[in-house]
Structure 1
Amino acid sequence: MTADSTPALVKQADADGPAPAGPSAARGPRARNTKAYLKYVAAKIAGAVVSLFAVLVTSFFLFRLIPSDPVKQMTGGRRVSAEQLESLRHQFGLDQPMWQQFTSYVKDALTGDFGTSFAYHAPVVDKIVEKLPATLLLTGTAYVLYSLLGIWLGTRTAWRNGSASDRFNTALALTLYSVPSFWLGLLLIIVFSVGVGPIPGMFPTGGMSAGDGASGFAYIMDVAHHMVLPVITLVAVGYAQTLLVMRSSLLDEMGSDYLTTARAKGLRDDTVRRKHAVPNAMLPTFTLMFVNLGHVVAGQILVETVFSWPGLGSLFYQGLSTPDLPLVQGLFFVFATAVILANTLADVLYPLLDPRVGR
């Protein structure tokens, strides 16, 4: 309650008599909190809409800075007459003024139409839907594994701060977090696909399956076999980030008075950690998990490319090589939208975990 509002409330109380007690009195603060929360949510959603429009504009102009002619790239270096090149430019709308291309792109994108791929001669939306399951399978599996592993190890290392296991896990996490994911993937291919010394090549070098027509359980095992190395690459980098954030957050909580009070009441150390310290330390990790959730759709472009995984990341890399403007524009917008929506969802849910936010 602010100082400016106190006189008005006092006058109102004098005029109307004593304030009512009971449930009706409690509804006042709850109503104010609900109104504040709804106002907070509306502001976050409005910010997300503005961000999406900014991404829409950026996705159009960004890839037109690439110094390459898409039409000439599509011809594959073959000798093509000027009339044929002009016909292709007209077919894909590249002969129109830039402002007209932009307005057409925005109008179509708002209806979910990202145009036709130059390279695949198919709607961009269809290509995205075709490749999306492979990306969700790979990055979704890695996301679940590295989130659980990072939270568990981050909690253990922080609670045993200064121990040998803490020093080892922290050093390993810092090392893996600093390693480029594509370099780690290449190293795993050299060691476990090609084989080094006594280590034989145990896993395929790339792809999603052997393509031998297997079905049923045999196909599932084949896909799982191909997933091992790319999943390990994603988990190694992702768990390191989660561990470091969780460890830092829990260390900040360990000196709090409420933990000292809980121990003074005779609670076991394990109970203090699980029921008191970890739930409060989870708030920064919760935000990080939602940020990473947004990247699940985008996948890891470099990791998918290194392992030739047929997902959206590889599709984006192939689109950049042409450049296939409708394809990379559509993928860029989808990637950014996933991140923005995940961040907005985290912002909306955060006040439910920490009432200090959004009040």
Structure 2
Amino acid sequence: MYKYIIKRLLLIIPTLFLILLTNFAIIQSAPGGPVEQKIAQIEQEQKQGAMESKVTPTQNYQGSRGLSPDMVEAIKKQYGFDKSAPERFWLMLTNYAKLDFGESFFKGKKVTDLILEKMPVSISLGLWSTLLIYLIAIPLGIYKAIHHNSFADKTTAFILAITYAVPVFILAILLLVLFAGGGYWQIFPLQGLVSENFDELSTFGKIKDYFWHLALPLTASTIGGFAGLAYLTKFSFLEELNKQYVLTARSKGLSENRVLYGHVFRNAMLIIIAGIPSAVVGIFFAGNFLIEIIFNLDGLGRLGFEATQQRDYPVIFGTLFMFTLVGLVLQLISDISYHLIDPRIDFESR
């Protein structure tokens, strides 16, 4: 097992390299980069200032000819575009090896500080939604497997089909309209993770305020995420229930609970555990970014979305690096948990 862990840790390096290289090539080739945006911003400010003050264009701004070549070169140097693409990529790699993700082009902060600043919001939403999804989906999946083809199984299947089909952002908007002052009930806050007077509240008041703000985002995220896991749990249990060792255990007179939770549960949960890393990464960094935008939650998802819009390359690549690294580490933890639950699984032979 130790050899496998070391091998997987070593594989993280080339995996990160290939992901960063691919995304670097794609993003660098996209039009409307930070240099172009900065030039357009300065030209717009200069035009507006010239019109309001009725003065002649400055030396850096030459009217219809735009910014002077010297000014354009200064902007390129400011954002590091005075170097070639391979030089920029190599410089990024050497900095990332020291966990130095650079400084945001537009926010005036280090990328590391921005990630640490936004992370508590994403962790709050991600942890609670993951916990709720697993607490609901796994018992529901087990119940559906035990009562396969019953009326309860068919009824819950219809409900799960609806929750799976409705996009998360549609559900989030619907919850806002219904319960956050969209014309019906003003029960929950419209935006933010806490109220403005949060620091003035008592301990109980802070807890209440925190979950009051999380109620709608968590509802949208949970409803949109537990259907797939419920079905995965159901079919895993159904597959195990039809195996020979279950028939043997029942023939020996073991109780149904002993058969189900003493034998079937451990084997059926292996595939669930294997899917935890991708589920966590999906909930934290993919599924919740829409939730953060719709409910105006200042987390990592919203940070990445705004950075993409602004072509804020240090933030884009910094968050991408962190998301990828977390995903790879979680996948390794999943494999280790796999082995701990069932020691018969030997990863070293892979």
Verify same fold: TM over 0.5: yes
SS of 2:224's equivalent in the other structure is helix
Give CA deviations for 1:138-185 in whole Å, capped at 9, x if unaligned.
111111111121111111111110111111222322332233222221
Match of 1:210 among 185, 191, 195: 195
Which residue identity does 2:11 align to in structure 1? G
Which residue of the partner structure matches residue 50 of structure 2?
Answer: none
What aligned pairs does 1:32-111 form with structure 2 within 5 A after superposition? 37-74=1-38, 75=41, 77-79=44-46, 81-82=67-68, 83-111=70-98
Which residue of the partner structure matches residue 49 of structure 2?
Answer: none
What aligned pairs does 1:295-314 form with structure 2 within 5 A after superposition? 295=282, 297-298=284-285, 300-314=288-302
Which residue identity does 1:340 align to in structure 2? L
Which residue of the partner structure matches residue 32 of structure 1?
Answer: none
TM-score by length of 2: 0.85
Q: Does the 8 Å CA contact 2:171/2:220 hold for their aligned counterparts?
A: yes
Residue identity over aligned pairs, in percent, reads 27
Which residue identity does 1:70 align to in structure 2? P
1:117 aligns with 2:81: no
Give CA deviations for 1:60-104 in whole Å, capped at 9, x if unaligned.
223223321313434374336344443222112122111111111
Which residue of the partner structure matches residue 269 of structure 1?
Answer: 256
Q: Which runs of 5+ in 2 are unaligned?
A: 47-60, 62-66
Which residue of the partner structure matches residue 345 of structure 2?
Answer: 356
Rounded to whole Å, the distance in 2 between the matches of 1:320 and 1:226 is 27
SS of 1:68's equivalent in the other structure is coil
SS of 1:194's equivalent in the other structure is coil
SS of 2:98's equivalent in the other structure is coil
Rounded to whole Å, the distance in 2 between the matches of 1:287 and 1:132 is 25
| Distance change >3 Å, CA 203–CA 65, structure 1 → 2 | farther
What aligned pairs does 1:138-149 form with structure 2 within 5 A after superposition? 138-149=125-136
TM-score by length of 1: 0.83
Rounded to whole Å, the distance in 1 between the matches of 2:337 and 2:131 is 20
Structure 1 residue 297, shift from structure 2 partner: 4.6
Q: Does the 8 Å CA contact 2:173/2:294 hold for their aligned counterparts?
A: yes
Structure 1 residue 281, shift from structure 2 partner: 0.5
Q: Does the 8 Å CA contact 2:292/2:302 hold for their aligned counterparts?
A: yes
1:334 aligns with 2:329: no
Structure 1 residue 195, shift from structure 2 partner: 4.5
Rounded to whole Å, the distance in 1 between the matches of 2:332 and 2:317 is 22
Which residue identity does 2:155 align to in structure 1? F
SS of 2:148's equivalent in the other structure is coil
Rounded to whole Å, the distance in 1 between the matches of 2:264 and 2:227 is 21
| Distance change >3 Å, CA 171–CA 317, structure 1 → 2 | same
Which residue of the partner structure matches residue 324 of structure 1?
Answer: 312
Structure 1 residue 269, shift from structure 2 partner: 1.6
Structure 1 residue 268, shift from structure 2 partner: 2.0
1:225 aligns with 2:198: no
Q: Which runs of 5+ in 1 are unaligned?
A: 1-36
Tell me which moved more, 171-180 or 185-194.
Answer: 171-180
